[in-house]
Chain A
Amino acid sequence: MASLEFNNLLVSNADFLKPFAINLTKDTESAKDLFQETLFKALANQEKYNVGTNIKAWLFTIMRNIFINDYRRKVKQQTIFDNTPNDYLLNYKQPSIVNAAESDLRIKEIYKAVYQLPDIFKTPFLLYFEGYKYHEIAEELKEPLGTIKSRIHFARKLLKEQINRY
């Protein structure tokens, strides 16, 4: 894909990332930084994008990984690029969902189901969904590790039940 073509595709598909950025960072300023960083990384890695695959899912994965890595760096002074999962996901050939609207619907459906979970499950599950580890969630919520694991495990069971698989 020509660079100009990729730029256009990126620009016309980037706006949907903004609410997700706010959702992840819970802060407008950090959300702007995260958004910028995501676009930058997408441009820098444009040759890794598979033409015809869902660009929104690709962008979202990049953004979530930047967020998680930044968070981990703060926790552990790690460098941004030394995480294998990150490279793996950037290079990962995603199954093509041709219809972006359909994948948006799926994301909305999942978010709706998550937000309808009872509070006891919603809070740890959202943290887990955003990439925090069990022990980090346990620390944050001041609950034993086993409690957090059971809650997240059960939340997944509830979600599986609620989200229809076609």
Chain B
Amino acid sequence: MDTPQVILVDDKDRVTGFIEKIEAHQKGLLHRAFSVFIFNAAGEMLLQQRALNKYHSPGLWSNACCSHPSPGEETEFAAQRRLFEELGFSTSLKKVFDFIYHASFENGLTENEFDHVFVGYYDGKIKANPDEVSDYSFKTRDEISHELTTKPGTYTVWFQIIFSRIEEWWAKKAIR
């Protein structure tokens, strides 16, 4: 199987090339990514606990799913694909905003992503894929904010970064 590739973009999300995922993260090159946030009818956010065998951030909590579209793949399709692969359901997704985030990690890797943020609503059955996800739960904004202050180590680093962004959106939007 080919090594996974990501789409390199400029700061306006225009495609500039393709590169192996690992190389993009080693060199800190800006590439296209997406994050999916799922809410239930009670206005709670779906969180997933990453599987314990994941090569990074195993066992940590994060949003419904995050990944990169492959070269030639439309972003919303990739978001749907990952949502289904990780949590076993699909629902309409709406892009709410995008932003660039940049973070360096101790292991020498750098995240530099043009992140498309999608939101969806779902109350049905979840069939989490055990290879990807070890647990999931719905939490309120206050619960998540509180936990990010009291026990940030249980959440992935990018969720801690991205949460302030989605929190702004969440606060403005009276969820159903």
Q: How far is the CA of A158 from the CA of B92 in the complex (A)?
A: 13
CB contacts under 8 Å to A, within B60-107, are 72-74, 76-77, 80-81, 84, 88, 90-93
Most B CB within 10 A of own CB, among A118, A150, A157, A158: A118
Q: Which residues of A contact B74 (CB under 8 A)?
A: 147
CB closest residue in chain A, given B74: A147
Does chain B have a CB within 8 A of A154? yes
Interface presence of A151 (CB below 8 A): yes
CB-nearest residue of chain A to B120: A118
Which residue of A120, A146, A161 is within 8 Å of B80 (Cβ)? A120
- Nearest-Cβ distance from residue B14 to partner chain A, whole angstroms: 17
Mask of A131-166 contacts with B, CB within 8 angstroms, 1/0: 000000000000000110011001001100100000
How far, in whole Å, are A119 and B91 apart by their CA atoms in the complex? 9
**Which A residues are in CB contact (< 8 Å) with B93?**
118, 120
Tell me the interface secondary structure of chain A in the complex: helix
Count residues on chain B whose CB falls below 8 Å from chain A CBs. 14
Taking a contact as CB atoms closer than 8 A, the residue among A117, A146, A147, A150 that contacts B90 in the complex is: A117
Q: Is there an interface contact between A150 and B76, defined as CB atoms closer than 8 Å?
A: no
Question: Given contacts A118-B80, A120-B80, A121-B80, are A158 and B90 in contact (CB under 8 A)?
Answer: yes
Most buried by A among B81, B88, B92, B120: B92
In the bound complex, do residue B72 and residue A158 qualify as a contact, i.e. CB atoms below 8 Å apart? no
Question: What is the CB-to-nearest-CB distance from A65 to chain B, in angstroms, rounded to a whole number?
Answer: 31
B residues within 8 A CB of A157? 84
Given A117-B90, A118-B90, A158 and B76 contact (CB-CB distance below 8 Å):
no
Q: Which of A118, A150, A151, A161 contacts B92 (CB 8 A)?
A: A118
B88 / chain A contacts, CB cutoff of 8 Å = 161
A160 to chain B, nearest CB (A): 12
- Selected contact of B77 from candidates A117, A151, A158, A161, CB within 8 Å: A151
Give residues in A with beta carbon < 8 Å to B: 117-121, 146-147, 150-151, 154, 157-158, 161
- Name B residues whose Cβ lies closer than 8 Å to a Cβ of A: 72-74, 76-77, 80-81, 84, 88, 90-93, 120
The 6 closest A-B pairs by CB, nearest first: A118-B92, A119-B92, A118-B90, A158-B90, A147-B74, A120-B76
* 15 A-B interface contacts by CB (under 8 A): A118-B90, A118-B91, A118-B92, A118-B120, A119-B92, A120-B80, A120-B92, A121-B80, A146-B72, A147-B74, A150-B73, A154-B84, A158-B84, A158-B90, A161-B88
10 A-B pairs besides A120-B77, A120-B80 with CB distance below 8 A are A118-B80, A118-B93, A120-B92, A120-B93, A147-B77, A150-B73, A154-B77, A154-B80, A154-B84, A157-B84
